[in-house]
Amino acid sequence: MREVIETSLKLFGRSALPCLPLATLSAMLGQLPSAYDLARFGEIVPITAESIVDKGGTWWTLYVVGTLLSLIILAYLLLKQRHIATGGAESVSFGGVLVRMPAILLFCVAGFFVMLVAALPFALIAALIPFPDAMRALIIFLPVFFTAFAVTLGWPSLVLGGLGAFAAVNAGLKLAVRYFGRLVLVAVAVVATLIIMVIVGGLAAGLLGIVVSGAGEGVQNSVIAAIVLVCAAFALLYLNAFLLVVCEDLQQRSQPPSAASSAA
């Protein structure tokens, strides 16, 4: 486990600067609906059962377009990080990502359906039994989180291995079931690192916000937003690197001893 964490952090460090512009663009595109809310209402409107009905056509257009473009860039980032990890042995093709877009979209739809099915029994339990609100939220969140994590394990197989959407989802679920204990440790490590990133980003945003406070509220908010965006981009790069290394590790463990030794 320690080797996986160290390798993923090394890959993250090596790919941070060359991949940061694309990761920042991906984060920006994913926030197009929020930017629209800010421009229209002066604040980000949380997505709830009530507010989602009031979202107009422009908001949904920005959501769909932003999500599609963000997915394209994330897939390309994974290719670039593998290119860096292999020392240039693997090729990087943006056109290849575009060709795979139907499979990528189907993968997202299938993954969402799997998460919905996994969460449904727990949602029923939370609805039928009078738990406290915090406990009810936890009962629903945990299966969704681990199912999402399991499905995401199929992302490298989809983008890098050329598997179909359903085959990639199935591959991720199989790895998650077979190495559940190891993946729990991985999930804890990922969450802990992201929490550290959030804390560091929050401190940086707060300090720079104070430094530029004399320039006016608009400048201050712009600086804070830029810092948050860069932190989100670093988080995307870290998650991509971690996912790439973890999946490679689990796939090697899944091979028969003879195949693993010959691959080495």
Three-state SS across the chain? CHHHHHHHHHHHHHHHHHHHHHHHHHHHHHCHHHHHHHHHHCCCCCCCCCHHHHCCHHHHHHHHHHHHHHHHHHHHHHHHHHHHHCCCCCCCCHHHHHHCHHHHHHHHHHHHHHHHHHHHHHHHHHHHCCCCHHHHHHHHHHHHHHHHHHHHCCHHHHHCCCCCHHHHHHHHHHHHHHCHHHHHHHHHHHHHHHHHHHHHHHHHHHHHHHHCHHHCHHHHHHHHHHHHHHHHHHHHHHHHHHHHHHHHHHHHHHCCHHHHHHHC
Token couple for 82: 């593998």
pLDDT, one tens digit per residue, over 225-258 is 777 788 888 888 888 888 888 888 887 777 765 5
Highest mean pLDDT among 47-61, 77-91, 158-172: 158-172
Does residue 261 lie in a domain region?
no
Q: Smallest Cα–Cα separation from 33: which of 4, 68, 2?
A: 68
- Check pLDDT > 70 for residue 70: yes
Residue 263: per-residue pLDDT: 44
Does residue 260 lie in a domain region?
no
Print the domain residue range for 224.
2-254
Does residue 58 lie in a domain region?
yes
* Domain tally, the chain: 1
**In 215-232, which positions are buried (b, 16+ CB within 10 angstroms) versus exposed (e)?**
eeeeebeebbeebbbbbb
Does residue 176 lie in a domain region?
yes
| Residue carrying structure tokens 């197009």 | 32
Q: How far apart are CA 33 and CA 44, in angstroms?
A: 9
Does residue 29 lie in a domain region?
yes
Does residue 123 lie in a domain region?
yes
Highest mean pLDDT among 139-143, 155-159, 190-194, 257-261: 155-159
Q: How far apart are CA 114 and CA 141, in angstroms?
A: 14
- Check pLDDT > 70 for residue 212: no
Residue 259: per-residue pLDDT: 46
Does residue 259 lie in a domain region?
no
* Whether the model pTM is above 0.85: no
Does residue 264 lie in a domain region?
no
Query: How far is C-alpha 191 from the chain's CA centre?
Result: 12
Query: How far is C-alpha 210 from the chain's CA centre?
Result: 31
Query: How far is C-alpha 139 from the chain's CA centre?
Result: 22
Q: Sorting pLDDT into bands at 50, 70 and 90, what band is 215?
A: low
